[in-house]
Structures are given as C-alpha cells and as structure tokens.
Amino acid sequence: MAKNGYSPEFMRELKEKNNLVEIAAQYMSLDKRGYNYWACCPFHHEKTPSFTIQAAEQYYHCFGCGVSGDVVNLVMEMESLSFPEAVKYLAARAKMPMPEMNFDSERTAELKKKKDRLLKVLLTSARFYLQNLYGGNAREHMEYIERRGISPGIVKKFGLGASLDYDSLPELLLDSGFTREEIEESGVCSLNARGKLFDAQAGRLIIPIINAFDEVIGFGGRILGKKTEGQAKYKNTKETMLFNKRKTLYNVNLLKKYKQKNAVPYVIMVEGYMDVISLYQAGFCNVVASMGTSLTQEQARMLKRYAENVLISYDGDFAGQNADLRGLEILKEENLNVKVVLMPDGEDPDDVVRKRGAAAYQNCLDNALPLVDYKLHSLERKYDLTRAEDKRAYAQAAMPVVREAASAAEQEALLKIVRDKTGFTYQSLSRDLEETLPERRAAAPVSLPRGAREKGDKVHKARRFLLGAVLFGLPYAARYALDEADFPDEVHRAVVRYISFCRETDQPVRVTDLFEIFGENTPEFNAILDLNTEERLFGVGAERYFKDCERTLARWRIQEKMTALNERLNAETDVTVRRRLAEELTALTGELKNYQTYR
C-alpha cells in the first residue's frame, strides 16, 4: 500500500486514464512545441509562457516559479481539493471504481459519511426553500424579486427560495430522517434557549451558496421590509465543515461553467449576492462576490484559477480604507493584476446596471484604475486640497504610494498627478521621492560571493545531473550504480531509494510516481526536473558531462576519506599506526590525480 493510502497499481492506472494535457487544457491555453506543451503559468503572473507539460512523462514544470507536479497535483491546485478529493474527481472522470483504503480508512470513511449527510441536509433545505417561493405563500418574497427586476430564469439558475417561518424547515428535515445533530451541524437550523431547533433564516429571501462542484454548502438570507435595530440586512448560515467564508466565493460554480466555454479576460469581484445576480442577468457572467470586503489568500488563489486580472467593483462609498486596501494587497501578493472600478457615489453595481444599463457599467469597467492609482485616488479624498496645509500633507502621504509603482515610468506618471493636484513642482516632488530610495537600496539582501560556495555547488550539481540522467533513462546512464551513501541530501536519497526499488523489483521507473512522495513545491526535486525540461540531459556534450560528474563524485569520495584519515592521523600517537595512515593518505593522493575532471 502506498504512502497516500492507494495502491501503486491504482494510482498508475488513474494517471494513465487521465491525460495531463487534456486536463490542463480545461484551465489554460496550450501551445504545442515539438513533443511538449507550453502555457502561461496558472500559479504566478507572467506574460511569456514558462509553464511546460512533458507529454511523454506526464508532468508539468514552471521555469518561472519552479512549481512541478502530475495530473493529481494539478487538479488539487486548480480545484482546491485535498489529495483524496482529487483522486476521487479523476476516478469519476475515468469511470474507475474507487478502491477500499487501508490508510486511516475508518476515520476517512466516517468523515466522508458525515460530509455526505450534511450535503443532503443542505440540498433538501434548498429544495424546500424553492418550493416555498412558488407555493403561494411567499407574496412578500416574490414582490421583492419583482422590484429588483430578477427574471424567473435567473431565479431558477441561482436557486433562490423563501423561508416562511421558524418551524417548517426543522420539522421537514426531522421527518426526512435527519438527526438533530446533523441538522444543527449543517448550519441551516440553530437551537434556541430551550434546545429547540429553528430556521436560522426565518422569513428571509434565501440565496443558496454553492461551491465549484455544484454542492450547496450554506445559505445567505436577505431581510424583507425594514430591518429592526441590530438586525442585519444579509445573514449567512454559520460556518461548518462544508462552509468557510475565507475559502468561498459566491457564484464560483457558474463562473467555472462559463470558463469552460469562454475566455475569461478578467473576473469582476463585487460585495453582495444581489450585485452578482443583477450583473449576471445583465450579461456579466464572469462575476463573483467576496463574502465581504475582507479578502483572503484562499479567495485570491481561487480567483487565480479563472483569470489573472481582477476588477474590484464595490459600492460607490468604498473609500479605500486601510482594512479594504489590505484585502486588495492580498490579491496583488498572489500575482493577480488588480484594478478598482470607480462607481458613482452612493451607487453599487446593481444600481448602475438597473438604472443606466449594461453599457454604462461596462464603461465603468473599462475605466478601472490600477491598484496603485486607486490608492492615490483614495488618498486624495482624505484631504481638502483647497488648503495649503492639506496639500502638503497629501503630497507627503502620496510618496510611499508612488514608490510602490513597478517602473520609473509609472512613478513619473503618478508624480505628475500629485503635481497637478497640489501645484508643487515636479522637481521638488521628485526630490522628496528620492530621499528614501538609498534606504531601500541599503536594505537589499547581500549574497555571498560565488567563489565561497563553488566547490560545494559543483558536487551538488554533479549529484543532481547523475540522478536526472538515471531517472529519465538516458542510455549513457543505464549502467550507473547509485549508492545512497553518495547522496546526503534527503530529496536525492529518496530518488535513489525509488530507483533502486524499481531496479530490484524489475519495475519501470516513472517520474510521476515521485510526485506522491514530494510536494509540487520541493525545490531540489524541481531542479532535477529542470534538467529534463530544459533538455540539458539530451544536449550536445551531455554524455561527456555525465562522465565528468562521475569523476567529480569519485573525487569527493576520496577527499572525504582523506579528511577522515587526516583527523585520525592528527589524533594518533602510535608511530606504527601513524606511518600506516600516512601511507594510505599518499595512496589516496595518487588516486585523486587519476580523477581529473573535464574543463
């Protein structure tokens, strides 16, 4: 049984039946060059493709960020799945039955059973709410939908429903055979002070929250009529093992389906459910809601699967407060290209679309500001630029923002904006900007001179090349005998053990087997893969370099022996033993001369 709980035979069949190229083509545009495929990396921002798929070996590698993996790794990253979930996804695609798992099987089976039951509770609730909406007793809910101009088709697509009271839902769920614990753990019902279950969304318009796999994982509820003091306009069901706001984007299920059929140049991020529904109805299908303005790293990574460009389209009173800007910085840190859509004051995307039409909203999108420009725009709103004192304060506060610009040209353009807003000369503003730049240069990391580590690097690179040549089955490396003692690096040792096992059991060496041992962000393993993806193993002089690496490693072995002998010689007091050790050292010195490397 493999480390991951599945047999090697099952995993190999799974990978053989799920071609990496076909799977990758669902998420990115591939360009075939020779035997391999290239694309812009989905894991970091880039304009020139550095992400390559080795079709024959069935693994991917990015020369830009160093990430590597097989088809299981790719599905895990692109679909935000755990390893077992990715295996299940691929098995279903290949119509393969899932095997019984011996690894932690009891706990895994129990968690799966619990998750499936909670999903059934949520799905049953969603159907119940939908029936309520059209059952004749949801007049207030229907009037709200009509006022918002939501069509019946959109109501159905988003699964909108109605909660009519506190008691009907828990009664239905109990009658359907669900336990009190399951109903409460699903989040759809809560317990009152007397321990009685009640509908947590009583009286509200219901908006199902659906994940990328079309599973209902929670609900949002919109209050109807005027809200009382302390009552929230929108309310989500509580967080559960299925629903975590940090890891959720509203409408990701429809965005995923849209991307499968259309190019997605950017994703629009809005604040609320109704903004999503209104924009989707107006034809903007590439829209999601962030479950609030506090964006998370998990949400940023989800967004990156669908597009590299994100347009933040919050309400018109979104003033770029510190908490909000930190959320936008999270998107930037994940190498997303972030722009902010300026809305008319007091209006949200839904207002613009309904009052002014889709073309007016598209115009807002077309004029979105890059994040650094938006920060400057937000800063301006904090000062009264008719006053000399505020002008100076604004100019001083603007300098750190200008310094964030990626290029000198962008900095120049931003300085001109500050100049025009304040009336200060460009030259004086430029001097203010330069004042702190030496500090930034002084803080730059200092690297050691190459000569200080060249010897160690040479031996390490030799080991890496030897391993790569054997791993990828180069003819000139077929007879090379790997010895684990020659490889102190743990990654190298794991590769040696795998190759040795395959040789001893007469099994083929498959690079993809190693992705079940190493994560996709194991730098040293990725460096070995680099040798193949850059075709250095096949290039002119590769065989000669291999022999040079053999000599380098042989010299290292001799030097290690000589170091050990010298230590013994220095500690030894017996003349006879010292003479014998000196003779051994002389012999090793002569042997060392026989291993001159090619230059």
Contacts for 84 with CB less than 8 Å, ≥ 6 apart: 5, 101, 108
Q: Is residue 476 part of a domain?
A: yes
Taking only the tens place, the pLDDT of each residue in 36-88 is 899 988 877 777 888 999 888 899 988 888 788 899 989 888 876 778 888 98
Q: Is residue 2 part of a domain?
A: no
First to last CA, the chain: 47
User: For 101, which DSSP code?
Assistant: P
Domain final position from 68, 93, 118? 93
The CATH code of the domain that includes 46 is 3.90.580.10
CA distance 429 to 58: 54
Alpha-carbon torsion, ordered 561, 566, 567, 572, to 10 deg: 120
Tell me if the pTM is above 0.85: no
585 and 462 in a single domain? The answer is yes
Domain span including residue 131: 106-243
CA distance 294 to 314: 12
3-state secondary structure of 267: strand
465 and 588 in a single domain? The answer is yes
572 and 473 in a single domain? The answer is yes
Amino acid at 441: R
pLDDT of res. 453: 32
165 and 89 in a single domain? The answer is no
Listing DSSP states for 473-492 in one string gives T-GGGTT----GGG--SHHH
3-state secondary structure string, 43-86?
Answer: CCCCCCCCEEEECCCCEEEECCCCCEECHHHHHHHHHCCCHHHH
113 and 173 in a single domain? The answer is yes
pLDDT of res. 570: 85
154 and 52 in a single domain? The answer is no
233 and 260 in a single domain? The answer is no
Domain final position from 60, 93, 126? 93
Query: How many structural domains comprise the chain?
Result: 5
Q: Is residue 448 part of a domain?
A: no
pLDDT of res. 442: 37
The CATH code of the domain that includes 357 is 3.40.1360.10
Q: Is residue 575 part of a domain?
A: yes
CA distance 26 to 312: 25
Q: Are 593 and 567 in contact (CB under 8 A)?
A: no
The tokens of 33 are what?
Answer: 């060059």
Q: Is residue 375 part of a domain?
A: no
294 and 214 in a single domain? The answer is no
The CATH code of the domain that includes 541 is 1.10.860.10
585 and 465 in a single domain? The answer is yes
pLDDT tens for each residue of the chain, 599 residues long: 344 567 888 888 999 999 999 999 988 889 888 778 999 888 777 778 889 998 888 999 888 887 888 999 898 888 767 788 889 889 999 999 887 655 445 666 677 788 899 999 999 999 999 999 999 999 999 999 999 999 999 999 999 999 999 999 999 999 999 999 999 999 999 998 888 999 999 999 999 999 988 899 999 999 987 766 667 889 999 999 999 988 899 999 999 888 878 888 999 999 889 999 999 999 999 999 987 657 888 888 888 878 889 999 987 665 545 445 677 888 887 778 899 998 887 788 999 999 999 999 999 999 999 888 888 888 888 888 889 998 899 888 889 888 888 788 888 999 999 899 989 998 988 888 887 554 443 333 333 333 333 356 789 999 999 999 999 888 898 888 888 888 989 899 999 998 988 888 888 888 888 887 776 667 888 888 888 866 688 777 888 889 889 888 988 888 888 888 888 888 888 888 888 888 888 888 877 777 654 43
pLDDT of res. 448: 31
Q: Are 255 and 268 in contact (CB under 8 A)?
A: no
pLDDT of res. 447: 33
pLDDT of res. 5: 65
Q: Is residue 378 part of a domain?
A: no
149 and 229 in a single domain? The answer is yes
What does the chain come to in residues? 599
Q: Is residue 145 part of a domain?
A: yes
224 and 326 in a single domain? The answer is no
pLDDT of res. 314: 86
Taking only the tens place, the pLDDT of each residue in 349-367 is 999 999 999 999 999 999 9
Domain final position from 349, 370, 391? 370
Placement of tokens 């109704």 in the chain = 274
pLDDT of res. 437: 52
Q: Is residue 504 part of a domain?
A: yes
pLDDT of res. 593: 72
363 and 389 in a single domain? The answer is no
The CATH code of the domain that includes 165 is 3.90.980.10
pLDDT of res. 81: 76
